Amino acid sequence: MNGVLGMTSLLLETPLTEQQRHYAETGHESAQALLTIINDILDLSKLEAGKVELENLPYSIEKLVAGVATLLSERASSKGVLLQVEETRDIPPLLQGDPTRLKQVLFNLVGNAIKFTEQGQVTVRTVYSKSQEGQPARLRFEVVDSGIGISEEQQSLLFDRFTQADNSITRKFGGTGLGLSICRQLVELMGGQIGVHSVLGKGSTFWFEVPAELSMKDIVEGTENLTGQKVADVVTKQKVLVAEDNEINQMLIRALLEKYDHSVRIVSNGVEALAAIEADDFDVVLMDIQMPVMDGISCAQEIRKLEGDKGRIPIIALTANAMSGQKEEYLASGMNGYVSKPIDQHKLIVEMMTVTANRTRVLPDKVEEIMLPDEAMVDNQTEIIAKKRTMADQEQQKALKDLAASFEDLI
């Protein structure tokens, strides 16, 4: 197909008679239609075989929608159809997900709207709903057209394979009837829903809605250079359970977390962690992997067996063994993220924010002026000794002295 499309494109750029150009354009358009059919069948077969894996990347909704509109603007203008994008409001600059698949679904819906609209306009609308009462944030796309519309009887069949409203549509507009079926399966794979509202002869509104995960990429880039700046809008007070058997690590983690006004409880093994979670509520668990009595992986698996919110509490692995295979093992056990030792405080704070981004806090938000320390990472005795001077609490000062003296034993 690459050869056919490529050569007919080159042929159309050469001097041709009117008849020759007509033949070449017909061949090129037919090849394009065949390529669409092939791609649809390949996509459908991958989806039905469970071979489609979603990416998890930061993306901009504004850029994604603008990209689709740009690609289809010429198609719309050639029909005299106005393609417009409503201004997106209250949408975070970056979200996390699979922008390629989102774009594929939106492209298909907008392309269909243009195809079935002879006059008037096609409008693309995006709505972001913040998380509420423990429910994740949602992202909704709507494609509104003034096209031919669809009867109520046919609307329920639209998202089935090889289905169009009726055979006359296939004859007039072409297509395989696979596009909407692929869209439905992709949206469901992303944990969302898709549907249509339509009035015959007046137009249609196709919509789909997916969970919206906040991207921490902009926060990571921002906090890396926030030395000495206020970060009250970045760090939210949380109630943290730390499962760690090494006393030196316990002191270090407590010191790091309390600088950001987090409430910290420390236990020494998985059994104690499980008991603490059953008895109290926490926003997040920091879980060491290698502990006596019950290790971190076993503990995470037991936590996931608990009912309700306790079984869904975010868990971050703390490990000195962050090889790729081991990372996958941690995530498979039910953990939501991981931070390597020695602990980088920025990475720890950002990872905590990432895994709790759409979760209701146990403690109420408290806006305070919090200053980041000058050093980005506690990784040697000199830095630790210097930091202790900023601590008002005498016990914490003593703990950090012990930490500095014993730093060589830190894993």
Question: Per-residue confidence of the chain (411 residues) as pLDDT tens digits?
Answer: 656 777 788 888 889 999 999 998 888 878 876 776 677 677 767 777 777 788 888 888 888 998 889 888 888 998 999 999 997 777 888 888 888 889 889 998 999 899 889 889 999 999 988 877 667 889 999 999 998 888 877 777 777 654 544 544 444 444 455 678 888 989 999 999 999 998 888 889 999 999 988 775 555 454 545 443 444 345 678 999 999 998 888 988 888 888 888 999 999 999 999 999 999 999 999 999 999 999 999 999 999 999 988 999 999 999 876 554 577 788 888 898 888 877 877 778 878 887 887 554 444 333 333 333 343 333 444 344 344 444 434 544 454 445 444 443 444
Maximum pairwise Cα distance, the chain:
92
pLDDT of res. 278 = 95
The letter for the amino acid at 155 is Q
pLDDT of res. 30 = 80
**What ranges do the domains of the chain cover?**
1-52, 53-214, 230-409
pLDDT of res. 315 = 95
CA–CA distance from 189 to each of 58, 66, 122, 178, 300 (Å)? 18, 24, 27, 16, 26
pLDDT of res. 382 = 39
Cβ count within 10 A of residue 195: 14
222 contact partners, CB below 8 Å, separation of at least 6: 234
CATH number of 53-214: 3.30.565.10
pLDDT of res. 281 = 94
The letter for the amino acid at 29 is E
pLDDT of res. 234 = 52
Rounded-to-integer distance, Cα 163 and Cα 44, Å: 14
Nearest in space to 72 (alpha carbons), one of 112, 32, 100: 112
pLDDT of res. 1 = 63
pLDDT of res. 387 = 46
Name the token pair of 73: 């603007």
234 contact partners, CB below 8 Å, separation of at least 6: 219, 222, 223, 226, 353
pLDDT of res. 293 = 93
Backbone angles phi, psi at 267, to 5 degrees: -125, 165
pLDDT of res. 373 = 38
Strand pairing of 203-211 and 193-199?
antiparallel
pLDDT of res. 140 = 94
CB neighbour burial string for 87-105, b if at least 16 within 10 angstroms, e if fewer: ebeebbebbbbbbebbbbb
53-214 and 230-409 share one fold: no
CB-CB contact of 117 with 126 (8 Å): no
Whole-structure pTM value: 0.50
Give the H/E segment covering residue 258. helix 247-259
The domain defined by 230-409 folds into Rossmann fold (3.40.50)
